[in-house]
Amino acid sequence: MRGDWRALAALLALVATGCAGDGGKAKPATQANGPATAAAARADAPGAQGDSTTDASASGERPVILFLGTSLTAGLGLDPDSAYPARIQRKADSAGMRFEVVNAGVSGETSAGLLRRLEWVLRRPAAVIVVETGANDGLRGQPVSSTKATIGKILDRIHAEQPNAKVLLVQMEAPTNLGERYTRAFHDMYPALVREHGVTLLPFLLERVAGIPSLNQADGIHPNNQGEAMVAENVWRGMEGELRLSGGQEVGNAPVGP
């Protein structure tokens, strides 16, 4: 479901927020506590290369789930433990799947900004890579063809540098004030990228959250804690089955937590 993004507020919020990501120099945000911080530190270490499954098995480390994205992934306005990647960590733990989550979201980043920082962020192998990008391109009204080409380059680069990783692309939507033709083309871009690049499509990140004031912060687009819990459910619903096929060893059948 695509909600009303309250487009003007959204445009001001995402474009003005943390645009360091467009410069290609910003390092990814990581969780303040827990295994994600350690994983990010190891990713920055020289020589962190190789097959993700083999390296993890040899060292006893858990396979990594790497989240690449904008402020929606970074968790702008929320405590780090409340951002949806941290919630996915808890869901995986509760489901008995042995993964480490690394949150590499950067606020204000366009797809071009993500492409520029890929070399840095892909230093440590990952078992699963979740790509959430394009929202800021849409908010700026950038041509869909240009955004599609850039995201295609991102997916190709990931495949080339981490051929063993399972790649999941998050469906995003453009604000409705850009017109039906643009929003339809933007929506259709993601399934087309999935077909062309052999990745898996996850549901719209803000499904059942976008445009609902009670689920968003004052800017009208970044989810609050209640909304972020629903975002995590959207992502988990799409990726749980993939995680069970991507190296997460089940150690129990505990209920999935928030």
CA 109 to chain centre: 12
Look at the block and give the residue holding tokens 């993890």: 56
Task: Tally the residues of the chain.
Answer: 258
Q: Reply yes or no on whether 71 is catalytic.
A: yes
Active-site residue (options: 22, 107, 222, 246)? 222
Q: Reply yes or no on whether 219 is catalytic.
A: yes
Three-state DSSP at 170 gives strand
Answer for the pair 135, 14: CB distance below 8 angstroms, yes or no. Answer: yes
Nearest-10 crossing angle of helices 180-197, 144-161: 20
Q: How many CB atoms lie within 10 A of CB 146?
A: 12
Q: How far is it, in rounded angstroms, from Cα 98 to Cα 250?
A: 7
Q: Reply yes or no on whether 44 is catalytic.
A: no
DSSP-assigned letter for residue 102? E
> What secondary structure does DSSP assign to 179-203, as a single string?
-HHHHHHHHHHHHHHHHHHT-EEEP
Active-site residue (options: 52, 71, 107, 111)? 71
Answer for the pair 66, 126: CB distance below 8 angstroms, yes or no. Answer: yes
**At 202, which amino acid appears?**
L
DSSP-assigned letter for residue 129? E
Q: How far is it, in rounded angstroms, from Cα 194 to Cα 189?
A: 9
Q: How far is it, in rounded angstroms, from Cα 183 to Cα 124?
A: 35
Answer for the pair 184, 144: CB distance below 8 angstroms, yes or no. Answer: no
Q: Which two tokens stand for residue 28?
A: 């990814």
Active site residues per annotation: 71, 219, 222
